[in-house]
Amino acid sequence: MRLPAALLLLLAFMPAAYAARPMITDDARLTDAGACQLESWVHLHGNQNEFWALPACNPGGKFEFTFGGALAYAHGHQKSGAMTIQGKTLFKPLETNSHGIGLAAGYASQPGSAHTGNPYFYVPVSFSLADDRVVIHTNLGYTRERENTENRLTWGIGTEIQTTPSSHLIAESFGQDKGTPFFQMGLRHWIVPGHVQIDTTYGSRFGAISDQHWFSIGLRLISPTLF
């Protein structure tokens, strides 16, 4: 029973933060001004597979709106899906060799859950080092778990390390104020710089790596200016 419990905790946190794929810890950046993007990925863990799609647009340049969700399958049968709606803005955009800070808030449900979703907010802070070759992201936030009527602090810390002009390694840890945290590591690569990106990750929970691990494979598409 430890695996389903851990996955519920992971899923409760995951919708509350959306960095550029494949990171869960969010960044102090927005979708390109006047453009839209689609982040989609397959999340594989245990006997459950999830298929996510999160479209986002930034029509005015200062506010990003995301609305999407997921379908989940377990043992070959479809379970109830998930829905996420989120708004995000920046107080200070991230600049090279400097920092950025923003605010995001939303409402998210979990794949396979019969309960309503959870409201949340968090503050992403990012730091650029070595001319953007290393970028560190930190998140601190709050979510209201309506299923068990508890308030939880959420946190995340992660880094992007540029290995080639088109590729980055990512590593992060995230969790809540209760329970053992999770970790994730992976790779993102631009097929068409600024427009088409692929990624993959491996993650698990500290202390239960062999029992609670997952894999993901994702595709990110960014449009030209639409607005």
- Please report, for the chain, the start and end positions of each structural domain, with discontinuous segments joined by +: 2-222
DSSP structure class, residue 32 = P
Residues of the chain with pLDDT > 70: what percent? 90
Give the C-alpha separation, 154 to 97, whole Å.
27
What is the Cα gyration radius of the chain?
17
Residue 16 has pLDDT above 80, yes or no: no
| Residue 171: burial class (beta carbons within 10 Å; 0-12, 13-18, 19+) | middle
Give the C-alpha separation, 215 to 43, whole Å.
6
Give the C-alpha separation, 216 to 23, whole Å.
11
Q: How far apart are the first and last CA of the chain?
A: 49
- Which tokens in the block code for residue 53? 């799609």
Residue 46 has pLDDT above 90, yes or no: no
pLDDT digits (tens, 9 = 90+) for 162-208: 999 999 999 999 999 988 999 999 999 999 999 999 999 999 999 88
pLDDT digits (tens, 9 = 90+) for 85-133: 999 999 999 999 999 999 999 999 877 665 678 999 999 999 999 999 9
pLDDT at 19: 60
Closest of 171, 188, 175, 185 to residue 215, by C-alpha: 185
CATH number of 2-222: 2.40.160.40
The pTM of this model reads 0.87
Mean pLDDT of the chain: 88
Res. 12 pLDDT band, cuts 50 70 90: very low
